[in-house]
Structure 1
Amino acid sequence: MTELPFSVLMCVYRGDDPAHLREAFDSVTVEQVRPPAQVVLVQDGPVPTALDEAIQRLVAEPVVPVELVRLPVNRGLGVALTAGLARCAHDVVARMDADDISLPERFAVQLPVVEGGADVVGSGMLEIGSGRDDVVGRRVPPLTPERIVESSRMAQPFNHPTVVYRRSAVEAAGGYQDFKQMEDYLLFARMIQGGARVANVADPLLCYRVGEGAYARRGGWSMLRTELALQRRFLRMGFTTPAQCVRNVLVRGVYRLVPEQLRRVAYGAIMARRGER
């Protein structure tokens, strides 16, 4: 099987930690068993001096070619990813967040799945606290194509920071849209509805930082309004049935409004249940 070159797409904004960015960048380049041919780094709006200096050091280092895309104002993840995809030199693109850590074998495991025909492949991931040795949880996605499609009617079927996809398949589905904190779920729903070939691997191939406020950001009235808008969109596009829409509004809507501690417990139970299937 021919090995395809691929790009890594990262976005950084003013709230990111320079040290975390450095660790994330190293984890997808010098630490990888199978490194990328390009990194596209999107700077979503102005950043503090320390972070700007960290970005400039990454661009200047001859580790791997880095394409820096600067957006003059903060536009949000959906817009930033769209701008970054346009600058990716290769059809195969791996997503990476600026504060996570990819494990060394990540691309060596995922790229052959794409080369074997998948349009998008995600993986399991470890939730970490203060560092990669402080593991506080584990997320295992649905594994078979049938389970991925089935579960997507209720929940995001991929751990977005772990995905590798074909840019052509993303563009065929309309690309990312500006849909606060739900742009990934909406994209993957459209890809699934359009017949994209989907896959997940159970192995945790990425460490995902669960910082302060991670569960708080998943709740509140603003997130409830976004949730309701997403469910209306799914219903209009025929991705869900009326019965599924009502179920999702009740289950996912209540999740957005319960106290943060209860939300944390509920989320852990949901992830454990998904991992058993």
Structure 2
Amino acid sequence: MNNESPDQQFSLLLPVYGNDEPSQFERAFASATTGQSLVPSEVVLVQDGPIPAELELAVARATKSCPVPLNHVVIDEQGGLAQALTIGLERCSYDIVARMDADDVALSERFARQMAKMAEGYDLVGTGMYEFADDTSEVLGRRTPPVGAAAIAKYARFHDPFNHPTVMYRKAVVANAGSYEDIGLMEDYWLFARMIHSGARVENLPDPLVMYRVGAGAYARRGGKRQFEAEWNLQRALRRIGFTTRLQFARNIAMRGVYRFVPVGVRRILYRRMIQRGFSDVSSESASYGKASS
């Protein structure tokens, strides 16, 4: 059933592409629609390029079972996540938009809790999340993001402070910051940094409200020459707009850059330690005073 109260209306933006598994997509779709205590007002499903027949059937079933209006946007040739999300945002009817990936699982209170926070005047609200591989009953880890504007801003100078698949934001504020721009696997980090830099009101809910699927190639994709180049471009961009200092730029290139070339096994260990230590350190500092990019 659609939301009747105007102050609870929002769009669900969900991209899907050829490599998504049909069963995972259907589970993700159901968890973000019929599985929510607060159902989206509409779904904008962006198909990024051609998809296999089995996934087409899954999309058709989801469309048929969707309890709210669904806008199926088809992009003829795959152009990547940044383009898919930019096109999808343009098709969203409501200013508040919730992100969802096609292989994750949203817990039932996710949208209700985020909308309650958005009602306080925030422009971007993320949440914590659990990580899993195949079975959601086997949790591999938990990402608890920094809470509070000061802690988020501090953390953002080195890491993405939001878990991208969990965010809810205002379309107008995203557009004001320049929307998504393709920059490797870090288009979300770059967008969120610009939103913070432009004065957006941001917050995180520390509780895990999304179960995030960690694929087999997750850590491999974060390494290599191409990803180092993306890292270099991101850090130069952050420095160019004055989001980071010269010292922070040098630190980030030295630490995050080297991370791109270590063996995958070592990268996995370092990533887990950086996430756990970084979030913990920033959260503790906040008492005195954000598929997440790495």
TM-score exceeds 0.5: yes
Cα RMSD between the aligned structures? Answer: 1.2
1:126, 1:207 within 8 Å by CA — same for their partners in 2?
Answer: yes
Partners of 1:217 and 1:160 in 2: CA distance: 16
Q: Matched residue of 1:97: which SS? A: coil
* Bigger Cα displacement from structure 2, 264-273 vs 97-106: 264-273
Q: Is 1:141 equivalent to 2:152 in the alignment?
A: no
Partners of 2:96 and 2:14 in 1: CA distance: 14
Number of equivalent positions? 277
Q: Percent identity?
A: 48
5+ residue gaps in structure 1?
none
Partners of 1:262 and 1:64 in 2: CA distance: 45
1:43, 1:68 within 8 Å by CA — same for their partners in 2?
Answer: yes
5+ residue gaps in structure 2?
284-294
* CA displacement, residues 59-106 of structure 1 (integer Å, 9 cap, x when unaligned): 223422111000000000000000000111100000000000000010
Q: Matched residue of 1:178: which SS? A: coil
Partners of 2:212 and 2:168 in 1: CA distance: 16
The one-letter code matched in structure 1 to 2:213 is R
Q: Matched residue of 1:15: which SS? A: coil
Q: Is 1:58 equivalent to 2:51 in the alignment?
A: no
Q: Matched residue of 2:256: which SS? A: helix
- Pick from 166, 172, 177: which aligns with 1:168? 172
State the Cα distance separating 1:2 from its structure 2 match. Answer: 7.0
The one-letter code matched in structure 1 to 2:184 is K
Partners of 1:274 and 1:112 in 2: CA distance: 27
The one-letter code matched in structure 2 to 1:119 is D
**TM-score of the superposition, structure 2-length normalised?**
0.92
Q: Is 1:220 equivalent to 2:187 in the alignment?
A: no
Could you say which residue in structure 2 is the equivalent of 1:240? 244
Partners of 1:87 and 1:217 in 2: CA distance: 30
**TM-score of the superposition, structure 1-length normalised?**
0.97
- Pick from 198, 203, 208: which aligns with 1:199? 203
Q: Matched residue of 1:94: which SS? A: strand
Which of structure 1's runs of 4+ aligned residues deviate more than 3 A? none
State the Cα distance separating 1:3 from its structure 2 match. Answer: 3.5
Q: Is 1:181 equivalent to 2:185 in the alignment?
A: yes
Q: How is 1:6-155 mapped onto 2 (pairs within 5 angstroms)? A: 6-155=10-159
* CA displacement, residues 110-145 of structure 1 (integer Å, 9 cap, x when unaligned): 111111110000010000011211110111111111
Q: Matched residue of 1:3: which SS? A: helix
Partners of 1:140 and 1:260 in 2: CA distance: 23
Partners of 1:192 and 1:99 in 2: CA distance: 28
